[in-house]
Structure 1
């Protein structure tokens, strides 16, 4: 090692553990000696008051939101009650206008009391009530028995899809209606196709087997961090409910905006000559209001997602940088105050970027499905994919870093890249296997739950084949809830990674157990680190 490193009281990383990094050929165990070290001030969590950031994005978001609400109130005030009775208008030749014909109003009350609807409602309600305890149970298991959970779940990644594939094939063969609607050749092709997909999943597991042990330790670290801030499990869904409350009046405004217009006569041609019909004609500004409201809602959803990431990052960062054995007080409250206070402009900026990426990606996917041909279309699609990947790359850790330091969006993006590059860490790759394994675990648990629901319905319900639909919907609901739980864990992993990079940058170790795990992360997709051959701390 160089003399500069020997003068330090402690060495963070064993030089024998060096690997070939993604961004430099220098030994990653040795922080680079830069002549301009003074341009990189120490990075740490900013506990004090933070300045307002990204005001233009905040102002634009508020203008769109207030405009949506204001025009919505105008739409409610100018609504035409005739919209709900447009079919009752007839053309009056005497006045050359449409008039309302007298008719008796028949009020109908529909009561849905079918066994299918009753069982479906009860199943979904019970599933929603059980999803919270199931998520907490998974968190406890991942914290204390992550290795056992992962290695137990891995075989089911193959067994459950194979069982379902064989089951549907046998059930369809034995059922007279299914057998005739789906010929044997098509059933065999579907069976083989699904088995090919299962073989691909098996190949992915085998190809990434060398990273399973590392993934187990990363998941265990993130579960411990989330368990140490368990209030996030209640606060984050509350933010989602707040978004639904915000959307409720906008949806009402959209409905009432369609009532802005009038009933007008329209000339039609017929066998007996021309005649007039009374039709509803909306005001010209209604489509523009729909576009405004939809853009506002998309931006609001993306902003809320980024706000949740901000709250997670700020809370976990305070846990990470706290002294060993102590717990930061009011960490979630301060993160919420920063997210919806001085840093709300940054959150809106990030939401705008992510919302635009989602819209452009949807447009590209739609064009791909339309089958547009030609060299120009191919070049445009490639350019769009490149730009989307670039924005995803820039946005990867930006909000995490902004939540820690209070920087603006552009400054956070630049400083995050420089932080990772300066410490020879990969800004491209953290650990995607953990996400896939967590997704596989919740798929297995949700599938087992759906099988249990199907068995219970078969025993206590009079439903026939409808019970499979009820079980499938219960599986989907549980997958959505647990998928949100995995999303939270993914953000915890990213935040801890940024905090670990800050530690390396300052030459400190705030969480010894984190350094012992994150130092093993591969710096490229082809690198295969050994869990046992690297020592992250030498004193």
Structure 2
């Protein structure tokens, strides 16, 4: 039992346990199994309160990771400043090279006359007639109308899927599972029969190749079946996890308005950069070039233009990843406020406060996270490119394995870091360390191995979008005369719907991760903010490495 001075000692979130025999679980939380409960029963009083401060930070937050925010702003400002310079400094004669001729007296290219330039411009804009026959016009009209209707229907479709996942999760999962096999088999047999019947397809695609593709697709389907058979014991837990996440998302439907708005804002932000890239191409001059003793006038681009292209493309890629991380931050902050609310009512202005944090104190953290993800993807692309080049040698193989292991570790580290930063407002490195320690103290995996939910959700949206494509194709064949073009329109509609539903699955995955971190904080504090979440997440597999180390120390406690 601690003394009075010890009880009045201020809490320190970052102080590690003072001795190796201190238990890591709060004794107020139900145990998972017998050995852990024995360790839990010997918890001392100072350790119970050591980490109680970890919760959602409703107070004012201080700006974090400021250097990375400044670096990102320098990239953006440089891109826009040089883009404005490129727009003003562009050469108006860049498209009139044919109107210039080499002058031997001045040893330079001079313009012949304005008539040639006018003739060139007229030929450029009006010289190539655009012809659209009735067949192409009908195809484009059907395609546009199909995409517009799909976009309109996607909003109630997503809400309907969310409603089904919230109230009838088990039914929709078990009904969809057979379609994971039936739909690929149907398409595999259908294309084989259709190609065999069509003389054009059968001539271009011999029977032997068709049989080879048919067998290969069936092998892939067999692998899918094997994956579900192996993971069948986790399907029931996955159903409950999806239901909990769907319930959390349904209580924060405003995310479906804010997240697409952020994506639209990113596209608007891209527009001037794309315009600057077009104008940057027009920066240069017309110079003479000797070819077999004759001088011709050619276009020579300014030397700084390629560097600007590299800068603008890097800025766009970094901005894309920053926006993705910002969306994760908004999702995490909003869901965390719902989770830690003491009553069933939804917290007010939760999305607004998350937006204020992501574009305010935590903007540097978001920029750093986006930069790390960008670097990881670039290095991984370089490693994959080196693998395709078949670089021989045991050293290259070892280096690739080490790099892949490092990149995988960074991905896993980044997985919950932004979730934790959105909850606490801490800096990136601090959030990464505290997240790992939080999960480790509570015997939870830092990787979160429950990935079956993502695979099942991906399968569900594939099935739903495929069924929608079949319905679209049937309607087009019944009301139009597109013929084989109806398959093309149906495929485009399928791609559009599956992109929209993939965004929905992305949001739901981030909700699952956020609830997971909130559940770990609850365990750490010995509290239960959402009973329905604890009833599900308590069945998640614990970290075996952490458990074995604790069990090994059990005799010391006893």
TM-score strictly above 0.5: yes
**1:426 Cα shift?**
0.8
User: Which secondary structure state, in structure 1, belongs to the residue aligned with residue 289 of structure 2?
Assistant: strand
**1:160 Cα shift?**
0.3
**1:341 Cα shift?**
0.4
Cα–Cα, structure 1 residues 476 and 507, in superposed 2: closer, same or farther, change >3 Å? Answer: same
Residue among 192, 205, 225 paired with 1:182: 205
Q: Do the aligned partners of 1:401 and 1:416 also contact (CA within 8 Å) in 2?
A: yes
Whether 1:12 and 2:37 are equivalent positions in the alignment is no
Residue among 159, 164, 168 paired with 1:141: 164
**1:34 Cα shift?**
7.4
Question: Which residue of structure 2 lines up, in the alignment, with residue 263 of structure 1?
Answer: 286
Whether 1:30 and 2:45 are equivalent positions in the alignment is no
Q: Do the aligned partners of 1:266 and 1:278 also contact (CA within 8 Å) in 2?
A: yes
Q: Do the aligned partners of 2:65 and 2:368 also contact (CA within 8 Å) in 1?
A: yes
Whether 1:373 and 2:392 are equivalent positions in the alignment is yes
Q: Do the aligned partners of 1:509 and 1:515 also contact (CA within 8 Å) in 2?
A: yes
RMSD: 2.2
User: Which secondary structure state, in structure 1, belongs to the residue aligned with residue 96 of structure 2?
Assistant: helix
Question: Which residue of structure 1 lines up, in the alignment, with residue 362 of structure 2?
Answer: 343
Distance 2:42 2:409 in 1: 26
Query: Which moved further from structure 2: 327-336 or 373-382?
Result: 373-382
Distance 2:334 2:86 in 1: 42
Question: Which residue of structure 2 lines up, in the alignment, with residue 530 of structure 1?
Answer: none
Question: Which residue of structure 2 lines up, in the alignment, with residue 58 of structure 1?
Answer: 69
**1:365 Cα shift?**
1.9
Alignment of 1:240-255 (within 5 A): 240-255=263-278
Question: Which residue of structure 2 lines up, in the alignment, with residue 485 of structure 1?
Answer: 504
Whether 1:196 and 2:219 are equivalent positions in the alignment is yes
Question: Which residue of structure 2 lines up, in the alignment, with residue 471 of structure 1?
Answer: 490
Question: Which residue of structure 2 lines up, in the alignment, with residue 404 of structure 1?
Answer: 423
Distance 2:76 2:39 in 1: 49
Q: Do the aligned partners of 1:429 and 1:523 also contact (CA within 8 Å) in 2?
A: no
**1:36 Cα shift?**
7.6
- Deviations 1:276-312, CA, capped at 9 Å, x for gaps: 2221111000111111111111110111001000000
Whether 1:86 and 2:86 are equivalent positions in the alignment is no
**1:525 Cα shift?**
9.5
Cα–Cα, structure 1 residues 360 and 516, in superposed 2: closer, same or farther, change >3 Å? Answer: same
User: Which secondary structure state, in structure 2, belongs to the residue aligned with residue 407 of structure 1?
Assistant: coil
Whether 1:518 and 2:537 are equivalent positions in the alignment is yes
Question: Which residue of structure 2 lines up, in the alignment, with residue 429 of structure 1?
Answer: 448
Q: Do the aligned partners of 2:287 and 2:300 also contact (CA within 8 Å) in 1?
A: yes
User: Which secondary structure state, in structure 2, belongs to the residue aligned with residue 523 of structure 1?
Assistant: coil
User: Which secondary structure state, in structure 1, belongs to the residue aligned with residue 93 of structure 2?
Assistant: helix
**1:439 Cα shift?**
0.4
Distance 1:483 1:249 in 2: 28
Q: Do the aligned partners of 1:28 and 1:424 also contact (CA within 8 Å) in 2?
A: no
**1:506 Cα shift?**
0.5
Question: Which residue of structure 2 lines up, in the alignment, with residue 535 of structure 1?
Answer: none
- Deviations 1:32-90, CA, capped at 9 Å, x for gaps: 84798376452011101100100011110111111111111111111011112234433
Unaligned runs of 5+ in 1: 20-24, 527-539
Question: Which residue of structure 1 lines up, in the alignment, with residue 81 of structure 2?
Answer: 70
Distance 1:376 1:312 in 2: 43
Whether 1:132 and 2:155 are equivalent positions in the alignment is yes
User: Which secondary structure state, in structure 2, belongs to the residue aligned with residue 449 of structure 1?
Assistant: helix
Distance 1:525 1:467 in 2: 54
**Runs of 4 or more off by more than 6 Å in structure 1?**
none
User: Which secondary structure state, in structure 1, belongs to the residue aligned with residue 343 of structure 2?
Assistant: coil
User: Which secondary structure state, in structure 2, belongs to the residue aligned with residue 222 of structure 1?
Assistant: helix
**1:265 Cα shift?**
1.3
Query: Which moved further from structure 2: 44-53 or 99-108?
Result: 99-108
What TM-score, normalized by structure 2, do the two folds share? 0.87
User: Which secondary structure state, in structure 2, belongs to the residue aligned with residue 155 of structure 1?
Assistant: helix
User: Which secondary structure state, in structure 1, belongs to the residue aligned with residue 252 of structure 2?
Assistant: coil
**1:125 Cα shift?**
1.7
Query: Which moved further from structure 2: 423-432 or 163-172?
Result: 423-432
Distance 1:449 1:32 in 2: 58
**1:335 Cα shift?**
0.4
Q: Do the aligned partners of 2:51 and 2:525 also contact (CA within 8 Å) in 1?
A: no
Whether 1:504 and 2:523 are equivalent positions in the alignment is yes
Q: Do the aligned partners of 1:217 and 1:517 also contact (CA within 8 Å) in 2?
A: yes
Whether 1:316 and 2:316 are equivalent positions in the alignment is no
- Deviations 1:101-154, CA, capped at 9 Å, x for gaps: 443223437475622222222222221221121111100110111111101100
Whether 1:211 and 2:234 are equivalent positions in the alignment is yes
Alignment length (residue pairs): 509
Distance 1:159 1:393 in 2: 34
Distance 1:91 1:126 in 2: 57
User: Which secondary structure state, in structure 2, belongs to the residue aligned with residue 420 of structure 1?
Assistant: helix
What TM-score, normalized by structure 1, do the two folds share? 0.90
Alignment of 1:91-130 (within 5 A): 91-101=102-112, 102-103=115-116, 104=119, 105-106=122-123, 107-108=125-126, 110=130, 114-130=137-153
Q: Do the aligned partners of 2:443 and 2:543 also contact (CA within 8 Å) in 1?
A: no
User: Which secondary structure state, in structure 1, belongs to the residue aligned with residue 332 of structure 2?
Assistant: helix
Question: Which residue of structure 1 lines up, in the alignment, with residue 548 of structure 2?
Answer: none
Distance 1:151 1:476 in 2: 24
Question: Which residue of structure 2 lines up, in the alignment, with residue 173 of structure 1?
Answer: 196
Distance 1:459 1:88 in 2: 55
Distance 1:123 1:390 in 2: 43
Distance 2:141 2:297 in 1: 41
Query: Which moved further from structure 2: 39-48 or 144-153?
Result: 39-48
Query: Which moved further from structure 2: 100-109 or 506-515?
Result: 100-109
Distance 1:110 1:158 in 2: 46
User: Which secondary structure state, in structure 2, belongs to the residue aligned with residue 396 of structure 1?
Assistant: helix
Unaligned runs of 5+ in 2: 1-21, 546-558
